[in-house]
Structure 1
Amino acid sequence: MKDDGPKGFDLAQLLAERGAERYELHTKHLNHQLPRMLHTIGFDKIYERAEGAHFWDAEGNDYLDMLAGFGVMGLGRHHPVVRKALHDVLDASLADLTRFDCQPLPGLLAEKLLVHSPHLDRVFFGNSGTEAVETALKFARYATGRPRIIYCTHAFHGLTTGSLSVNGEGGFRDGFAPLLPDTAIELGDLDALRRELKHGDVAALVVEPIQGKGVHAAPPGFLRAAQELLHKHKALLIADEVQTGLGRTGDFYAYQHEEGVEPDLVCVAKALSGGYVPVGATLGKGWIFRRVYSSMDRVLVHSASFGSNAQAMAAGLAVLAVMEDEEIVANARRTGDLLRGRLAALVDRYELLHEVRGRGLMIGIEFGRPSSLKLRSRWAMLQAARKGLFAQMVVVPLLQKHRILTQVSGDHLEVIKLIPPLVIGEPEVDRFVTAFTEVMDDAHSGGGLMWDFGRTLVKQAVANR
């Protein structure tokens, strides 16, 4: 018998042979509702390659990415510096994840991260944003000896059981109880926080400085005042910077927009590895870590099998180097101001456009009830079927007609969220504003394909009730 030699694994051949089955494979083996949803709204595209803030399909058409993989692609796709770091770390054949040594890369990445929050001392590395939040919740409860966590309505902190306990959207929590003891307050409600702290059982308040759902920033002064209240009652402030951190809002962390705010624990993830490798990090004050890891018997009391792996650490170091070398934070602030300003200038022009808000390259575009009778009746039709359908009506033509990928900011919200790669500049701003203006013109004309699609969405929403 002829020996053809080792078979090996040929990724290029596998994708060439089976790549066209992608939607069928998802339907059969993964979340079957995802392909169904994508097909319904016309998002069932086939992207062949990507670079920076752009995708290309098989026909060579380019698409502008204003979503950044829900924020993980902070530097865009396939940044050459991060790619090289990953090749280098694989070629180095490091003795990774032995678990009974101390590799250099985790310490070096922790050191680099802590430069941006000098009031913090130590870092725990996990694999995701939800793990970073889970770590913060566990550490806060152990360090304070208290069980209860305060969070804000409409918050999103993850979907594992602990982080789900501080999730402000009921749709995510339904059917998964019992969860951790928790209490929700409105973002900015200091009186409610004060009342809860008087019970003496609160370990921490966990808060997004800018909520991802709807893009709502904490009111000016709230974080500082909340911190003072929490510390007065020996509770902790946890800043969830999973989406807002690493330059997204025009500062390295979003809490830094408010002077004097120094959270006890900070959660980061998403963009930390440039989107290549799952990674999460919880930064904290030294006394909290010393209390959790109080003896050699407790050295593994909180750990992660893949935490601190060499690929994630190398990617993180490369990302931070690129952010410094290419002045990514300043670009996010400058380009974000330009984009937000040009969009805000359209509010008076379009009655369906209610508000433009945000910081840096985290921008929310909110739609609202129009004043004219003709548009009011169409708006009412959509609202009666399901709140959020108009925002979806805007997202779809942006992709279908203008090849721009965006997202609705949350379930039942008439808000589009823009969180593009932080490397975009004026050409991408021009392209988006031009396309958005054309979509708004179409919506206000009272006819056309946009409202035809709206009727399709209404039928779908009614059928799913």
Structure 2
Amino acid sequence: MTSEFDLGALLAERGAERYELHTKYLNPQLPRMLHTIGFDKVYERAEGAHFFDADGNDYLDMLAGFGVMGLGRHHPVVRKALHDVLDLDLADLTRFDCQPLPGLLAERLLTHSPHLDRVFFGNSGTEAVETALKFARYATGRPRVLYCEHAFHGLTTGSLSVNGESGFRDGFAPLLPDTAVALGDLDALARELRKGDVAALIVEPIQGKGVHEAPPGYLRAAQELLRQHKALLIADEVQTGLGRTGDFYAYQHEDGVEPDLVCVAKALSGGYVPVGATLGKDWIFKKVYSSMDRVLVHSASFGANAQAMACGLAVLSVMENEQIVAGVRTTGELLKSRLTELIDTYELLSDVRGRGLMIGIEFGKPSSLKLRGRWAMLQAARKGLFAQMVVVPLLQRHRILTQVSGDHLEVIKLIPPLVFGEADVDRFIEGFAAVMDDAHSGGGLMWDFGKTLIKQAVANR
């Protein structure tokens, strides 16, 4: 008996139309951007920290799907769990029963933050943030949420209200009542808290944009200030959580920090099924869900579905059994130290920062006369073009996929899958050094491409 729907046959027949289909039916600017910078590759399959094209060439993944692929692509344990849960034919999402998988995943997840008690499951990092914002405002009875300048917490209306970049916010007002404070500025935090209307401060322990870490002692001091004013601390661990920085959560790098709410997503999915989670203290959840009348006051149609819960349980099992966090610490230190050693060699390389496998490489104004003019030309056209000039040859010539860490930033962010190994470190360093050698030679294809980017930047003004 032939199947009425053959996915493999459909992809074989129409897969080559991928860019045309996207241009016609989805966001037309994405394929346009990919064509412009030469990122319009056709990847056929993926495994671990690598992609493969139709010719069998392998590409090193330093993005992990923006952090989603924590265990790399197609981890066999997570894959088996997904097959298993589908084969069980569970009575999923009846909405009027209590299935075991959400409870089991919540129990397992909470062992990594023993000061927290309960979990709400949604479908993404943005949903996890939205949940935290709603819960904080309801639990405190206050309207205003503080966030840090340059923060990124998502793009839905609530999470956009605590987004620190005007480029994302412009044109979408009015948003929630909010106020930005500089990461690390305790005086500004105290000043806002004294106004008495602050529900919470939401903070990334390491900001994804630019890879900026909260200063030592800041989270603990901020927590104390918030408690004095009966406001909550929300830790956004959507990108930094689940081992990314060499601890299970990034806030755990600082002793005594115990957020009231923690947002988790991305790597918890294993890369297969979207899942987000908001972890919180018992009293907050009991205030939100204060009676049977309020049992559905905050819910998600696909939240806590069996496939997502099975993937989450499998991910946590792999992390424990394969000692993923310890491996991240070791590999991250190796990658960071080898990059730091290059600062004295390349004048365009100004800083290497971050923790674990979340590393920022920042470029800055060169000292030599021959490079200063070229740098100034790029900066006049658009800040961030040099970082883009590095990202493109890394992919084109060395088959290494990286990203610029935010608009108008001369920073590349490295967030490879957590299964990234020593051989992968060697490959990245070799490719990166070759690109830096080309940039410092003052000529060649890299600076020719820079002229193309300048023309594009000027045309878009």
Normalization by structure 1: what TM-score? 0.99
Measure, in 1, the Cα distance between the counterparts of 2:236 and 2:51: 29
Corresponding letter in the other structure for 2:170: D
1:179-218 alignment, distance < 5 Å = 179-218=175-214
Counterpart of 1:268 in structure 2 is 264
Counterpart of 1:253 in structure 2 is 249
3-state SS of 2:23 partner: helix
The C-alpha deviation readout for 1:369-398, integer Å capped at 9, x for no partner, is 001111010001100010000000000000
* 2:372 matches 1:363: no
Q: CA deviation at 1:462?
A: 0.3
Q: CA deviation at 1:273?
A: 1.2
* 2:107 matches 1:108: no
Counterpart of 2:30 in structure 1 is 34
* 2:299 matches 1:303: yes
Measure, in 1, the Cα distance between the counterparts of 2:165 and 2:420: 31
The C-alpha deviation readout for 1:416-450, integer Å capped at 9, x for no partner, is 00000000111000000010000000000000000
Corresponding letter in the other structure for 1:298: R
3-state SS of 1:183 partner: strand
Corresponding letter in the other structure for 2:151: A
* 2:439 matches 1:443: yes
Corresponding letter in the other structure for 2:32: R
3-state SS of 1:87 partner: helix
Measure, in 2, the Cα distance between the counterparts of 1:76 and 1:7: 31
* 2:222 matches 1:226: yes
Measure, in 2, the Cα distance between the counterparts of 1:8 and 1:226: 58
Measure, in 2, the Cα distance between the counterparts of 1:431 and 1:178: 47
Corresponding letter in the other structure for 1:42: G
3-state SS of 2:398 partner: coil
Corresponding letter in the other structure for 1:250: G
Structure 1 consecutive aligned stretches of length 4 or more whose deviation exceeds 2 Å: none
3-state SS of 2:45 partner: strand
3-state SS of 1:401 partner: helix
Measure, in 2, the Cα distance between the counterparts of 1:373 and 1:165: 44
* 2:159 matches 1:160: no
Normalization by structure 2: what TM-score? 1.00
Q: CA deviation at 1:8?
A: 1.3
Counterpart of 2:166 in structure 1 is 170
> Which residue of 358, 361, 368 corresponds with 1:372?
368
Q: CA deviation at 1:291?
A: 0.1
Measure, in 2, the Cα distance between the counterparts of 1:414 and 1:277: 33
Structure 1 portions without partners, runs of 5+? none
Counterpart of 2:50 in structure 1 is 54
Q: CA deviation at 1:299?
A: 0.1
Measure, in 2, the Cα distance between the counterparts of 1:234 and 1:243: 27
* 2:278 matches 1:282: yes
Counterpart of 1:149 in structure 2 is 145
Counterpart of 2:409 in structure 1 is 413
Aligned residue pair count: 461
Q: CA deviation at 1:7?
A: 5.1
Structure 2 portions without partners, runs of 5+? none
Measure, in 2, the Cα distance between the counterparts of 1:424 and 1:369: 31
3-state SS of 2:196 partner: coil
Measure, in 1, the Cα distance between the counterparts of 2:420 and 2:153: 27
Corresponding letter in the other structure for 1:266: V
* 2:393 matches 1:397: yes
Cα RMSD of the aligned pairs, angstroms, is 0.6
Measure, in 2, the Cα distance between the counterparts of 1:38 and 1:309: 34
Corresponding letter in the other structure for 1:124: F
Measure, in 2, the Cα distance between the counterparts of 1:31 and 1:357: 33
Q: CA deviation at 1:272?
A: 0.2
Q: CA deviation at 1:456?
A: 0.2
